[in-house]
A and B are shown apart, each in its own frame.
Chain A
Amino acid sequence: EPEVTQTPSHQVTQMGQEVILRCVPISNHLYFYWYRQILGQKVEFLVSFYNNEISEKSEIFDDQFSVERPDGSNFTLKIRSTKLEDSAMYFCASSFFDRVGTDTQYFGPGTRLTVL
């Protein structure tokens, strides 16, 4: 069964450094998402992406964050200058449809980001 994959599984970085989290969505999916979950808290929406542009973003997704689909398979989340509070689990998800005809979002296994 197709699945969403994410790399790395765990990333440790120093405060102020840039990190890139990578995701490979399910191949025929058209909509891509990033969520984050701070330890012990709920999962929060960051951004959705369709047709090579952001379709929606939350207030968490500020100028420090960016997303890109650099090729036909990868979907990346970049944090330009990490802060301690960026430490969290980051989940990538993909779906075939969005909105009307909304389809299931399939989640990747997550990348645990630790900012020291």
Chain B
Amino acid sequence: AQTVTQSQPEMSVQEAETVTLSCTYDTSESDYYLFWYKQPPSRQMILVIRQEAYKQQNATENRFSVNFQKAAKSFSLKISDSQLGDAAMYFCAYNAGKSTFGDGTTLTVKP
């Protein structure tokens, strides 16, 4: 069974600085997607960024980028120039059909 591990229950960053959220996963599949979702207090799941496993190039979406290490099964999220609105719970998810989520990391942004 696939598992997703987020080893950082909580992270904190100063506004305008950079923070990296960690995620590792375990799978025997070769084709899959990886996602980072943001969940604000409203509890809606907002897609932040996605990475196709067959692509070597790391995905980037504005201030959000990933460091995808397929051999190491690692998929970290880097948030640059952090903003107060980035404060939320962040979930890493693995998808090869159904999605498997990590436990989440609560990100606090300090003004």
* Chain B residues within an 8 Å CB radius of A48: 97-98
Which one of B95, B98, B104 has the highest number of Cβ atoms from chain A below 10 Å of its Cβ? B98
Expressed in whole angstroms, the Cα–Cα distance for A45 and B101 within the complex equals 9
B45 lies within 8 A of A99 (CB): no
Q: Is the interface of A mostly helix, strand, loop or mixed?
A: strand
* Chain A residues within an 8 Å CB radius of B50: 104
Expressed in whole angstroms, the Cα–Cα distance for A44 and B25 within the complex equals 16
Check A25 for interface membership: any CB of B closer than 8 A.
no
Expressed in whole angstroms, the Cα–Cα distance for A107 and B46 within the complex equals 8
By size class, the interface of chain B is: 20 to 34
* Chain A residues within an 8 Å CB radius of B42: 109
Expressed in whole angstroms, the Cα–Cα distance for A48 and B91 within the complex equals 20
B103 lies within 8 A of A105 (CB): no
CB proximity to A under 8 Å, residues B28-47: 31-33, 35, 37, 42-45, 47
27 A-B pairs with CB atoms under 8 Å apart are A42-B101, A43-B91, A43-B93, A43-B99, A43-B101, A44-B101, A45-B98, A48-B98, A56-B98, A89-B43, A93-B99, A99-B31, A99-B96, A99-B97, A102-B31, A102-B32, A102-B33, A102-B97, A103-B33, A104-B50, A105-B95, A105-B99, A107-B37, A107-B45, A107-B47, A109-B42, A110-B44
